[in-house]
Structure 1
C-alpha cells in the first residue's frame, strides 16, 4: 500500500471514494485527458470515476513499494490538485515510471514538479530502485519541462511503451544529490504549453 508523503506544500496520500467529484474535475478535463496513458479513457462523470478509483484503491492495497498511486492535495487545505503515480511500464514491467496529472487551475505553480520530486525521492530510497523514468509525448512540452524541473534528464526516444513514439527522461538516485536548476516550488511559473 502506498505510504503518505509530504513536501513543503503538498500531501500525497492514498485515493478514497470521497475523492470522486474532485477527481472528475481533474481527469475529466480535455486538456488533462489528452495526455493520459493509453488504457485510461477520459473519465467525465462520477460513476466512471468511482469505478476508476475503486480499481486504483484495490491495486494500491496489493502494491509493493515503490509502486502506487497518490492523490495530491494542498497541505492544510485538503484541496485535491490531481494525482501522481509510480508504476512499472508495459510491456515487460521492468522500468519504473513516474507520472503526474494536475487540474489546469493548478498549473504554473510548481505543484507538479514538487509532487514528482517528492514521489521520486521516496521511490529512489527504496531497496533495489536505482532509476525511474518519465515517458512523454514529444508535443507535451509542459510535461517535458516538469520532468526537467524534477531533475530528470532526457535520454532519448523510444517506441517501446504503449505503442507510441515517446521521449524518455531518467532520474537516478545519485542525481538527487545535485541541486535542481529550477527548484521553484514556491514560484508562480506561468508557463504555457501542454498539461503537466
Structure 2
C-alpha cells in the first residue's frame, strides 16, 4: 500500500522569507528520508512556468486583476495536473511556495473585489486545498525592503508599493482565521534559524 501524500503550502507577503523556509523544510524532510517535491506558484510545471513569466514581469499595469485571475488559475490547473497530483499519488510530501491563498489575496482582495470569483473558479477548476498552510508573517516595510533588494526581473507586484503589502498582510491574517483548521502563523521577524525550527515543529506535529 502506498502511504498517503501530504500537501503543504507556504504563504506570506513579498519578502517574508517563505521561499527560504520552504527550501529549508524540504531539505530537513529529505534528510529524514521523505520523498519531497518542492515547487512554486505561479509555476511548478512547464506550462505554468511560461505563464509565470507573463504575470511576474513587466509593467505593474500590464494586466487587470480579472486577467491575472484567469492566468493564475490556468497555471495552477497545469501545476496540479502535472506535478502536485502525481507526487501525492506516490506518497510524497509536496511543498509549494504559494497556492490558491495568494490568488485570494492578490487578485481577490488587494487588486479588486474579486474574492467570490476567485473562490468560484477555484472550486470549478482546482478543487484542492493544502493539508497545512504555513503563513510566514512579517512587517510589510521589512518585507518590501527585502523584496526590492533582490536581483531579477520578477518585481511586478513589489512595484505596486507598500500599501498593497500592508493590505496583503491584513488579508493573509484574516485568511488564517477563516481557514483556522489548516493555517499556522509563524513569526517571520526573527532569525531564519528560529523560524525554520518553528516550521519544522509544526510540520512534525502534523504527522510528517
TM-score, length-scaled by structure 1? 0.31
Structure number with greater Rg is 2
- Which is strand-richer, 1 or 2? 1
- Which is helix-richer, 1 or 2? 2
